[in-house]
């Protein structure tokens, strides 16, 4: 489930609506190369921190929504530019559960097929930290990021 090692990150959540049933928040990556926090973005169905690379065709500044009682993170566009994109239904975050895998975190819409061994469930928030907890494994709060070919942007 871990991405390639280069930047070990903790995904911290900035919760902006803790009063309603739906919890909306932004994720930021912190680690050795990201001490000030790098915001998570959507780019062509992949999760990027620090922005999106110039080579992606669909780049969206997002918040995530976790519906009360649900264990999924659903992306919500933070910009009107998303209205020009095919942003319905809103994509759900997934991770690859294959042990020792080096695949990135991604997003899939309801009508899209997930990669083999990927899951959209088991996510949650613990205070300001994002985690993943599969039914049959320990809670995981560390994620790894890989540098792209653009400075300060990680997959």
What would the pLDDT profile of 43-64 be if each residue is shown by its tens digit? Answer: 999 999 999 999 999 888 999 9
Query: What sign results for the dihedral spanned by CA atoms 137, 145, 130, 56?
Result: negative
Q: Is the pLDDT of residue 136 over 90?
A: no
pLDDT at 7: 43
42: confidence class by pLDDT, cuts 50, 70, 90? very high
Q: Is the pLDDT of residue 17 over 60?
A: no
Pairing mode of beta strands 123-126, 118-119: unpaired
pLDDT at 1: 39
pTM: 0.81
Q: Is the pLDDT of residue 18 over 50?
A: no
Instruction: Return d(Cα 93, Cα 118) in angstroms, integer.
Output: 10
User: What digits encode the pLDDT tens for the residues 73-114?
Assistant: 999 988 765 555 667 788 999 998 887 777 789 999 887 899
pLDDT at 144: 81
What mean pLDDT comes out for the span 131-145? 81
């Amino acid at each position: 489930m871990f991405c390639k090692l280069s930047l070990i990150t903790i995904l911290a959540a900035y919760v902006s609506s803790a009063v309603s049933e739906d919890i909306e928040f932004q994720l930021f990556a912190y680690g050795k190369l990201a001490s000030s926090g790098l915001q998570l973005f959507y780019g062509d169905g992949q999760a990027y921190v620090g922005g999106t690379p110039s080579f992606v065709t669909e780049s969206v500044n997002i918040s995530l929504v976790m519906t009360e009682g649900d264990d999924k993170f659903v992306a919500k566009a933070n910009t009107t530019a998303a209205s020009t994109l095919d942003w319905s239904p809103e994509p759900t975050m997934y991770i690859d559960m294959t042990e020792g895998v080096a695949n990135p975190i991604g997003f899939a819409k309801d009508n899209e097929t997930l990669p083999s061994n990927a899951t959209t469930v088991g996510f949650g928030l613990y205070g300001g930290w994002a985690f993943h907890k599969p039914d049959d494994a320990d809670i995981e709060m560390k994620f790894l990021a890989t540098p792209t070919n653009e400075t300060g942007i990680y997959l």
